[in-house]
Structure 1
Amino acid sequence: MGSKTKIVVLHMKEIIYTVLFAVLAIVLILLLIFMFLPHSKDSKTAEEKYMPGIYTSTVTLNNTPLEVEVTVDESHINSIRFSNLDETVTTMYPLIQPTIEDIAEQIYEKQSLDNIEYSSDSPYTSQVIINAIDDAIKKAAAK
């Protein structure tokens, strides 16, 4: 009878190991599913709500104030532009207009200021413009 007990103990160890590995495999599969599923429900509820209108923020370049004008409707950013850009500023800062156009295109596409790629030609100007756009969007945010 002692030999049967040893065989049962060996089989019990194998069953325990099999169950343990099966549980770990299920936990790993569930973890991978939750990590890589798109979070569409969260993005729909966290969608920005704005008060429709035109909001401005000021950027000062070499003692010249520039108005960044952001136009929004209830849920979208529709337009971003400089409202008082003149020839002297564009002559002094030739990359400012292409920079704001590039940033505006990215914002229209993403409807967010997250993960905006800066131009390698003017990273500091891009950051100043994004800060001004962010200020204007904060003014537009519905409370």
Structure 2
Amino acid sequence: MSSKTKIVVLRTKELIYTGIFVALGILLIILLVCMFAPKNKTTETNATVSQYTPGVYTSSLSLNNQAIDVEVVVDSDQIKSVRFVNLEDSVATMYPLMAPAMENLAEQVVANQGVTGLSYDQSSQYTSMALTEAISSALQKAVPKK
């Protein structure tokens, strides 16, 4: 009776290494599936889309070779404030309707969160229109590029 008995010798060190490599291979496959699997599109569209890039934006308005800077402060969702920056006394004296017109427009822009639907005082209509253009120009800088 000659039976062909085969003896298999397994070393525990080789079994441990094989088990570790199999586990790492499975982990790698799981990570690749997680990384490259299509994402749920509703979570991307429901994420808060910011209307503005937060910051301080300025725009210049030129009157008789005098530069008047208009500053608009925005956060990601709303307009915080609108004001003049470095308004010289000579400019304020030469154009006395500038400061009241800016105060009126600043209140309306912050309340409306934009330059649409603003009402102008009849005495400072053209001043208000020029200031509205400067505010609009500063807000265009705050809109994120796509």
- Choose from 60, 72, 75 the match for 2:74: 72
Q: How is 1:6-25 mapped onto 2 (pairs within 5 angstroms)?
A: none
The number of aligned residues is 97
CA distance in 1, matches of 2:123, 2:86: 23
In structure 2, how many angstroms separate the alpha carbons of the residues matched to 1:99 and 1:132? 13
Partner residue, 2:58: 56
Consecutive aligned runs of 4 or more in structure 1 exceeding 2 Å deviation: none
Instruction: Give the alignment's Cα RMSD to 1 decimal.
Output: 1.3
| Equivalent residue in structure 2 for 1:115, among 117, 126, 136 | 117
Letter in structure 2 aligned against 1:58: S
**Whole-Å separation in 2 of the counterparts to 1:138 and 1:120:** 27
How do 1:1-143 residues align onto structure 2 when only pairs under 5 Å count? 49-143=51-145
Cα distance per residue 1:62-98 (max 9 Å; x no partner):
1100111100000111111110101101110111001
Name the structure with the higher helix share: 1
Structure 1 unaligned runs (5+)? 1-46
CA distance in 2, matches of 1:129, 1:141: 19
Distance 1:104 1:58 in 2: 16
TM-score (norm 1): 0.65
Structure 2: give runs of 5+ residues left out of the alignment. 1-48
When normalised by structure 2's length, the TM-score is: 0.64
Give 1 or 2 for the bigger CA radius of gyration.
Answer: 2
